[in-house]
Amino acid sequence: MKVRSSLRALKRKPGSVVVRRRGRMRVVNRANPRWNSRQG
């Protein structure tokens, strides 16, 4: 999982969902787990 300053490009990928967990923004992608990332 990568830590990124901006999740804008990743949330446009097919199958991605933006989730807030424990005060952090995460992009969870079940179609391609390579695109999982968090911000903060």
Domains in the chain, number: 1
Q: pTM for the full model?
A: 0.79
Output the pLDDT for position 2: 87
Output the pLDDT for position 15: 94
Output the pLDDT for position 33: 93
Buried b (16+ CB within 10 A) or exposed e, 3-25: eeeebeebeeeeebeeeeeeeee
Ramachandran sector of residue 9 (left: φ over 0; alpha: ψ -120 to 50; beta: rest): alpha
User: Model confidence over 1-40: pLDDT tens digits?
Assistant: 889 999 999 999 999 999 999 999 999 999 999 999 999 7
- Do 15 and 28 form a contact (C-beta atoms < 8 A)? no
Output the pLDDT for position 1: 80
Domain that includes residue 27, residue range: 2-39
